[in-house]
Amino acid sequence: MVDAYHHFHTTVETFFEPAHGLLYAGLLAAYVFVAIAMVINHRRGFAWRYALPKGYETTIAGLIVFLAGGVLDMIKHTLWGFEEGFNALLSPTHLLIGAGMFLIIAGPVRSAMEREHPPRSLLGQLPMLLALASMMELMHWGTQFIFLSEAERMNAPLDPAGFPHDTLTLLALLYYKQGIGLLAVIVQSLLMIGFALYAAQRIRLAGGALTVMFLVGNIFIAAAHSNYLGQFIGVVLASLLAGIFGDMVGRRWNLFAFGIPAIYWAVLLSVLAITMGGIWWTPDVISGSVLFAGIAGLFALALTNKEQSPSP
């Protein structure tokens, strides 16, 4: 996310810059600690193929994919320079790096859920929760162009009534900006409730688990992407209250699925209205977007079709 911030707010002209150094230092650390764990467990008598806990097979695969993507990305940047805008977002080497990171982080999640006795305390679940939150951050990175709603009044398109000669152009812009805003509501709602349902339906989450997951899973992309403090504060408060609500309602699935995204967007839009000089969306669009978020959550719940209780 530090690298994302640099790409959003500065000009990146070389592969060898601090944010990239931090990114690949993290990859090196992952290699080192995985190797240490494997050696220790092998010395304890485990065969090499069983030298990591069950579930960490994806981490090994991710390390290989990440390394391949990093090498190819360095070669690509050296030969053809740096991408900008959507080219950077959809660069195959960047997507390969992201896929490797996703697989690396999946290890603690699979490990926790495949144990005979899954962790029950918040501390015991913390590695899994931080991994899930990091996976959320990666998904936000991939959908960063629709992470923020741009509902702030300062982002409002020009009123067609004031420019009669440009009415069609301005109406098209209005439609486009409103559509992107609603798309942000739908996609980010599905991401949040998707991760929440995946975790809550497979393991008995400890109190505070969703609050931790939503805060860590949203604030880093918000910090990287926000141009104004109000936008960042809105994401933090919305994530906090949505997480608290999810922790409180537990396995009352309909309330869980509807309430988490609806509360997130209701709080976020309210904070933007208070801190950013109002929002340009009409009352119908505001209330309808919050309702749409909740309906998207119920839709995700219907797709999971998982009625059984989580593991004891």
Report whether pLDDT(306) > 70: no
Same domain? For 210 and 252 the reply is yes
Q: Quick check: is 68 in a domain?
A: yes
Using N-to-C axis directions, what is the helix angle for 18-43 and 2-9, rounded to 10°? 170
Same domain? For 264 and 197 the reply is yes
Backbone angles phi, psi at 201, to 5 degrees: -85, -10
For the chain, the domain total comes to 2
> Averaging pLDDT over each range in 89-98, 126-135, 297-306, which range is the top one?
126-135
- The DSSP symbol for 227 reads S
Q: Quick check: is 297 in a domain?
A: yes
User: Residue 263 is inside which H or E element, if any?
Assistant: helix 253-275
First to last CA, the chain: 36
Cβ-based neighbour number of residue 57 at 10 Å: 16
pLDDT at 174: 75
Mean pLDDT, residues 78-87 taken together: 71
Q: Quick check: is 298 in a domain?
A: yes
Q: Is 212 exposed, middle or buried (0-12, 13-18, 19+ CB in 10 A)?
A: buried
Q: Quick check: is 287 in a domain?
A: yes
Same domain? For 37 and 175 the reply is no
**Domain's final residue, options 71, 91, 116:** 116
158 pLDDT band, cuts 50/70/90, is low
Q: How far is CA 17 from CA 12, 23, 74, 82, in A?
A: 8, 10, 12, 13
CA distance 262 to 295: 8
Report whether pLDDT(307) > 70: no
Q: How far is CA 31 from CA 27, 56, 273, in A?
A: 6, 13, 46
Upper half-sphere CA count for residue 95 (Cβ side, 13 Å): 7
Percentage of residues in the chain having pLDDT higher than 70: 88
pLDDT top residue among 4 and 35: 35
Q: Quick check: is 137 in a domain?
A: no
Nearest to 292 by CA among 268, 270, 267, 265: 265
> Which amino acid is residue 155, in one-letter code?
N
Same domain? For 216 and 263 the reply is yes
CA distance 295 to 283: 18
Q: Kindly state the tokens that stand for 57.
A: 């097979």
pLDDT at 304: 85
pLDDT top residue among 225 and 213: 213
Same domain? For 97 and 181 the reply is no
Q: Quick check: is 132 in a domain?
A: no
Report whether pLDDT(312) > 50: no
Same domain? For 153 and 297 the reply is yes
Q: Kindly state the tokens that stand for 191.
A: 């991401």
For residue 163, the enclosing domain spans 149-312
Percentage of residues in the chain having pLDDT higher than 90: 52
Same domain? For 104 and 184 the reply is no
Q: Kindly state the tokens that stand for 77.
A: 């940047």
Same domain? For 179 and 310 the reply is yes
pLDDT at 308: 47
> Which amino acid is residue 120, in one-letter code?
R
Same domain? For 100 and 169 the reply is no
**Domain's final residue, options 91, 116, 141:** 116
pTM exceeding the 0.95 threshold for the entire prediction: no
Same domain? For 193 and 287 the reply is yes
Q: Quick check: is 126 in a domain?
A: no
User: What is the SS3 assignment for 279?
Assistant: strand
Same domain? For 89 and 175 the reply is no
pLDDT at 194: 95
pLDDT at 234: 93
Q: Quick check: is 193 in a domain?
A: yes
Same domain? For 96 and 14 the reply is yes
**Domain's final residue, options 64, 93, 116:** 116
